[in-house]
Amino acid sequence: MSKHNAEAPIMAIREVSKSYGGVHAVRDVTLDIDSTKITALIGPNGAGKTTLFNLISGFGTPYSGTITFGDTDLTGLSPHRVAKAGIVRTFQTPVGFSSMTVAENVAVAIAGQGLANPWSPFLRWREDKHTHVDALDAARDQLALAGIEDLADTAISDLSPGSAKLVEITRQLSMGPKMLLLDEPAAAMAVDQIKTLSELIRGIIADGVGVLVIDHNLGFVLDLADMVHVLEFGAVVASGTPTEIGRNERVREIYLGGVEESDAA
């Protein structure tokens, strides 16, 4: 059953800018991100998509502007404090404890819920036998919900790139977020994995967790998203439903020539 309600927080990005050595990576971006919907950010290489993700998730501080989530001002907070506010993200290259299994990595995330110190989850999971057992059981349940329970006993280092991304999303969901930021989740995925990914993201929304996604796979994005915002040279140049964006002449001009590469900004 959906957990959506009228009190669902809105992420409000107001006139946010970020420059690097005089280059405007993000320029006066103003957006409202509805945490009951799947929202996508698209644009060519260097458009500022990943920079904006970094500013939202605490891996950078805006030169100007504000970012709020409900009543919480996220502007300039550390990544850990942003996560405590309910915003978690994945990266283009998944992270984790490479020598541990998939289930163990997810269990560490589960064990860390509610802890103030970012290193405490691993220590609690290693030293508290009761927590260790309960977290592993919960991790296997989480993997089953994501449809990847067959990966539970595989070492993170042995995963294919696509499987590693599915595991990374599941690990972040184990932290109980209010909104999940997905950075290029479909990159390096096989067709069947993209189908699993789409089903997983739709399930995330149904469970009341908002999704903000960057991806260069336009077919995946336009099939999945409820709202799409297009960035070019750090500024928002178009916003609308997937149908509206697909018909937008400016967007067509931006994508002429192909841009299926990693985001540079």
Q: What is the CATH number of the domain that holds 54?
A: 3.40.50.300
pLDDT of residue 82: 93
Same domain, 19 and 144: no
Number of domains into which the chain is organized: 2
pLDDT of residue 31: 95
Task: Tell me the pLDDT tens digit for each residue of 203-215.
Answer: 999 988 999 999 8
pLDDT of residue 117: 47
Same domain, 127 and 63: no
Same domain, 183 and 82: yes
- Structural domain including 227 reads 1-86+177-265
Distance, in Å, from the CA atom of 75 to the CA atom of 89, rounded to the nearest integer, reads: 16
The residues near 217 (Cβ < 8 Å, ≥ 6 apart) are 186, 187, 194, 260
Task: Tell me the pLDDT tens digit for each residue of 40-60.
Answer: 999 988 899 999 999 999 999
Same domain, 167 and 218: no
Q: Say which residue the tokens 């560490």 belong to.
A: 108
Same domain, 75 and 194: yes
* Tally of CB atoms within 10 A around 13: 24
Same domain, 158 and 181: no
C-alpha closest to that of 52 among 172, 214, 165: 214
Same domain, 50 and 77: yes
pLDDT of residue 131: 67
In angstroms, how far is CA 196 from the centroid of its own chain? 16
Same domain, 7 and 67: yes
CB of 154 closer than 8 Å to CB of 102:
yes
Same domain, 156 and 187: no
Considering only 18-22, 37-41, 122-126, 223-227, which range has the smallest mean pLDDT? 122-126
pTM: 0.83
Kindly state the average pLDDT of the residues 16-25: 89
CB of 189 closer than 8 Å to CB of 162:
yes
pLDDT of residue 253: 84
